[in-house]
A and B are shown apart, each in its own frame.
Chain A
Amino acid sequence: MVSRELRKIALERIERLMDFAKKHALERPEIARQAVLLAMRIAQKARLRIPRRYRLMYCRKCGTPIWSPNTFTIRIRSRRSTHITIRCNNCGYIKRMLVKKKDRSRK
């Protein structure tokens, strides 16, 4: 069990690491990737989820941040229900997200 104070510290460490990764992603992508991996390990240790605003910003398999150049291919596909595929060009991991259609029916 992690105390409340430690969770607070861990959350802020994650925030700081993500900001750090964003800052260095363009010039030193490898350093940024290491920082994201460290943030993932800290979240594991402290048993908390990475906030959603950061969770969409990196590859969950290899940790490549989205801010580095030429790292992700994003496509809209409609073979099954319409979804977005986000493919990491570093490791090949594919993340799929459903697209919800706007409800146009009149009530």
Chain B
Amino acid sequence: MAQLKRSLAEYVHAYGPHVSDTPVNGWAHKPAIDRLVKTHCCFCGMQCGIQLQVANNQVVGFEPWEDFPFNQGRLCPKGVKRYLQSHHPDRLTAPLIRTDAGFREASWDEALDLVVTRVREIQAARGKDAFAMMSGVSLSNEKSYLVGKFARLALNTANLDYNGRFCMVSAGAGNKKAFGIDRAANAWADLPEAELIFIAGSNVSECFPTLMHYIWQARDRGARIIVVDPRVTPIGRTADLHLAVRPGTDSALNQALLHELIAHGWVDEAFVRERCTGWPELAASVATCTPAWAAEITGVPADQIRRAARMWGEARTSFLLHARGVEQHTKGVDNVLSLINLVLATGRIGRKGCGYATITGQGNGQGGREHGHKCDQLPGNRDIENPAHRAHICRVWGIADDELPHKGKTAVELFEAMHGGEIAGLINICCNPMVSHPDTNFARAALERLPFLCVIDFFMSETARYADVVLPGSLQEEEEGTTTTAEGRVVRIRAAVSPPGGAKRDTDILLELARRLGRGDKFAYADNEAIFNELRRASAGGTADYAGITWQRVEREMGVFWPCPREDHPGTPRLFEDLRSYHADGAFHLHATPYRPSAEVPDAEYPIYLTSGRSVFHYLSGTQTRRIKFLVDKSPGPQCEIHPALAARLGLVDRQLATVETRRGTLTVPVAIVESIRPDTVFVPYHWPEALAANQLTVHALDPVSKMPEFKVAACRIRAATPDGAARARALFAELRLEPAASGGAA
């Protein structure tokens, strides 16, 4: 049982997060630069090009990479400061084994042998699937592919899933249902060609700052913007039309928009008749979804809905973008499909200036979700239950079908199974569920009940504190590889430096574990490029086909867009140019999305909507960005955005500490009174752990198709913090700005 052995403060003091803003040699003049390494930022799906300055095997700074076509040198503050990680004082540099007093340092042999012993014991006693693996898509394509193969062949478990389940998986599921392929339909270069940009549930300005350039390019050419968001975000502020939708009601809004398109004859009749299936059923399903009906549900005035429908209906070209705001719901897939329906109803897809995309959030959110570390997936975005797909992968891996596990549990289901005792062991890489899992108190209970946990990470994440074995891994800039950006462009990640001290490359850790688990024969790679070349073969013929993409091409061409089936194939920046989907029938599939309420909506007891999201200064669970002083100074901790009218009703003043409470937990944070949010809704960013985790409050409920949790809607109540609660919160906030310890030490 993995109860914490020390107080949280003791873990923080020993392993961080400490904040550091200190370059390698302090703020004196930089050392002479040995080389500039052209690579990409690790901090979101844009994967901006950046050059890292390297001196003496240390990253000492950055220089904009103005030749890289996507961002031409542009960066957000996370990208500017990411160079501070490689030598950060919190880096784990030796394997750690849990003791009664916390952790002790151990040799790699001892740590790896312990992991292998426990895997064997648990699987012998409880069956293969009792040992699970959780992964994440900040990993490169090579590592993502390797994790999928490692879990299936070396652990031989069905139970592997990934943190995209906490991110955008509803978009992937919706895209597969409608298009038969899970990728942005267009490169970002189509954005400036559009005369209308419709942005649903994406704070592009804070979550994807460098994409803003493309939206402004479009506006400079006269494009108009519609933003759907409960908050006036920086991009919402400049929108031509901002629809401040009530959380959880997007599909109703989109149904009404479709109703209006039909009512006014703004439908591409030929396209829906000849290129789509399901149009009559879809049209019938929105017959009664009038703007007045939707206004009641969404809180958006009917005339604004009519205006949005007119703008969309009369546009000749358009680009529809969405992100987590519509996806992280118990009806995330329906929300996504209801938006795709608008695109398909007007036939504006597959040509210049006519685009559609989900804006993937994680560093390799696109590539990482294609090559087999999802519970139901094999490389090339193949289906693990499809016999032909299995046969192809078995050939590439040189195994018989009965050696390849079948579909396993999704992420939240894995935690439920740990909680229930069905799963007894877990290897966790690149994921910090103590911040990112919904209802984190449940996640903690699951980890506490888990008999064995191994965490591979470069910092002591809040999840790693619960580990029996912590293996110190590598940052993105410490391994060669590739990622795939949110627009489907495969780009080259360069090893700028080697991991510090006794830390090892993630790839080497997985390969060595595989060898010790007796499957070394299946994991013999000369280098990471050999892994990529196997990925190419494994993906060949799948929808996410990388067969024609080589590292050399990626470097030479500044990225290659998949699908790219042959080396003489140019890649595919824009999908559907032949107006055919990737379904067997070649048609685009329309789906009715009847509105249904969120799992939990406000009531008399919990009368306020709570929604959550990101800050521009932090990345995901904050394991990296909560350690960089510039970012921590700008955003030290969570705050609760609340409208002045609601604050007045609750008797709260700006910056007062208030306690937000849901049926799962409580969170005490300062109030930020802003006019830029709906008066029935409050917003808390989610990047912090433990007592400051917004996810203590979120609902433990899943989309039935994508199994995505509902991070975006919960019912809460708010009151002024008690004196004790306020004192505890002040202590927690004081800790967030902790400067580096003079010397480290085991807790």
Question: Does chain A bind chain B?
Answer: no
Q: A: which residues have CB within 8 A of B?
A: none
